[in-house]
């Protein structure tokens, strides 16, 4: 197994040949318990094209890539194991204080929690999508109903908690949101590629 302080150079993900690049090494060191959720500028071992989002669920990290082999790392909460979806996406839409409607699958899984919102919930501080949302699309599919969004529950960051989306604190998604244009590529890597210590 690979230590969480190292990334694999070329681990096949079953995503049409997409591999997890050698991205970061020492940046994955996390000091407990005084954990800081603030975005951090990190250096990449190998450059990636700037202007992409890479979500690595095993270390609860989202990377917004920059020029000169750098990235901004944000910590995220990710989908519960059976609900997390890996793949390649693009940002098809962006919304500030978005409204939210649970999917039919969510309502069927947990009607007590979600049926009351079948007609939607307006945007605002209590909305599950938080202050900002990036909507993930795929060619030939359109909206996948996956989001990168905010939350007012910072205790859910660095956990497997959502119905498939990646969540940041509201403060962090407000920081990320203006950096990401519509059309930006998003890579959600498979789980369990990196051993958690």
At 133-143, the pLDDT tens digits run 999 999 999 99
Percent of the chain beyond pLDDT 70? 80
**What pLDDT digit, counting tens, does each position of 97-113 carry?**
999 888 888 888 888 88
**What pLDDT digit, counting tens, does each position of 150-188 carry?**
998 999 999 998 888 999 999 999 999 999 999 999 999
Could you tell me if residue 130 is inside a domain?
A: yes
Ranges of H-type helices in the chain: 104-109, 111-114, 170-176
pLDDT for residue 152: 87
Could you tell me if residue 196 is inside a domain?
A: no
Supply the range of the domain harboring residue 27: 11-188
23 and 63 Cβ atoms separated by less than 8 Å: yes
Could you tell me if residue 152 is inside a domain?
A: yes
Could you tell me if residue 195 is inside a domain?
A: no
159 backbone dihedrals φ, ψ, rounded to 5°: -135, 160
What CATH number does the domain containing 125 carry? 2.40.440.10
Percent of the chain beyond pLDDT 90? 56
Map tokens 């998604």 to a residue. 173
What is the spatial distance between Cα 58 and Cα 8, in angstroms, rounded to a whole number? 12
> In the predicted model, is pLDDT for residue 27 greater than 60?
no
Could you tell me if residue 58 is inside a domain?
A: yes
Q: Which listed residue (133, 165, 168, 176) is catalytic?
A: 165
Could you tell me if residue 137 is inside a domain?
A: yes
160 and 80 Cβ atoms separated by less than 8 Å: yes
Could you tell me if residue 64 is inside a domain?
A: yes
**What tokens were used for 72?**
């901004």
Give the count of domains, the chain: 1
Place 30 in a pLDDT band, splitting at 50, 70 and 90: very low
Q: Which listed residue (73, 132, 147, 149) is catalytic?
A: 149
Could you tell me if residue 57 is inside a domain?
A: yes
pLDDT for residue 162: 83
Is 165 considered catalytic here?
yes
pLDDT for residue 194: 67
Q: Which of 44, 39, 56, 62 is nearest to 2 (CA)?
A: 56
Is 149 considered catalytic here?
yes
Strand partners, 95: 133
């Amino acid at each position: 197994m690979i230590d969480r302080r190292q990334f694999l150079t070329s681990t096949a993900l079953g995503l049409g040949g997409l591999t997890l690049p050698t991205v970061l090494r020492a940046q994955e060191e996390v000091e407990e318990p005084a954990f800081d959720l603030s975005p951090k500028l990190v250096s990449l071992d190998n450059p990636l094209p700037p202007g992409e989002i890479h979500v690595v669920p095993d270390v609860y990290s989202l990377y917004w890539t920059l020029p000169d082999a750098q990235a901004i790392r944000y910590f995220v909460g990710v989908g519960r194991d059976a609900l997390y979806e890996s793949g390649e996406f693009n940002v098809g839409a962006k919304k500030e204080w978005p409204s939210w409607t649970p999917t039919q699958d969510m309502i069927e899984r947990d009607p007590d929690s979600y049926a009351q919102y079948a007609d939607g919930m307006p945007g605002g501080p209590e909305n599950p999508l938080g202050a900002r949302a990036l909507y993930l699309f795929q060619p030939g599919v359109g909206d996948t109903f996956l989001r990168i969004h905010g939350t007012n529950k910072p205790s859910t960051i660095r956990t497997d908690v959502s119905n498939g989306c990646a969540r940041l604190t509201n403060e962090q998604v407000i920081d990320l949101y203006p950096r990401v244009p519509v059309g930006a590529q998003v890579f959600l890597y498979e789980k369990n590629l990196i051993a958690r210590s």
